[in-house]
Amino acid sequence: MNESDAARRTLPLLDLTSLNDDDDSAAIDRLCGRAVGSLVRVAAVCVWPQFIAQCRETLAGSGVRIATVANFPAGALDPAGAVAEVQAAVTAGADEVDLVLPYAAWLDGQRAAAGELVAACKQASGPERILKVILESGRLRSADNIAGASRDAIAAGADFLKTSTGKTEVSATLSAAEIMLTAIKQSGLRVGFKAAGGLRTTMQAAAYLALAEQIMGPGWAAPHTFRFGASSLLDDLLADLGMARASGPGNKGY
């Protein structure tokens, strides 16, 4: 796959993301402008919950979905708090919620409780919204842990498995992606995959697409099954397609 082909395949899979501590309404306006810039249509924007309504208004009619985060980034074992965040996001108009698995509790042996939190949040999000469960694979570390957490999240009702918050020292890796995609394949269920954290180049994205094709089959990677969580990746994609940079400065992507 050459760079222009990879860029063309990646653009519609992009969750254009801004989860910076200093985000304000102007930054979110710039993000939305990039999401629907000239010749660009990404899958979604992913923002802090307080910006959902602004994105909903700004992107109305564009086809770009609105995603937000819950239990983020720490992944606390607090079912009531996580459910309240998901319910608030849905009420504000989010189409998708990226929920952090209580990975520390899971590693501490509280696996059933972690799964129950995910299941409760899926019930709160309802069948019409996509729940992406962030495993924080860099903190799970071992292949057995990543595989086990993947299976538990799928069993609890995850619509997507997502690698990382982008807030830890190790984010998305191809080795973790392979384990997660294999768990999805083995489940036989309609579960998607999202790579997030540290993705900045078209050829990095191409490697994940090739891996997904190898495990899940040709054509599996589509917006309803596969996402990249990033913003800095967009500039490289546009450059490889010979397009001008979308309006607005880049954001730190997760």
Active site residues: 98, 162, 194
**In 3D, which of 192, 175, 179, 171 has the Cα closest to residue 254?**
171
Which residues are within 8 A (CB) of 218 and not within 5 positions of it... i.e. 6 or more apart?
none
Residue 185 CA to residue 102 CA, distance in Å, equals 23
Helices (H), 174-231: 174-187, 202-216
Look at residue 217 and give its three-state secondary structure.
coil
Residues in the chain, total: 254
Helices 202-216 and 3-10, packing angle to 10 deg:
70
CA distances from 56 to 39, 102, 224 (A): 20, 29, 20
Q: What is the DSSP letter of 103?
A: H
Tell me the C-alpha distance between 91 and 67, whole Å.
13
Of 85, 14, 90, the residue nearest 46 (C-alpha): 14
User: Which of 67, 140, 65, 52 shows the shortest CA–CA distance to 101?
Assistant: 140
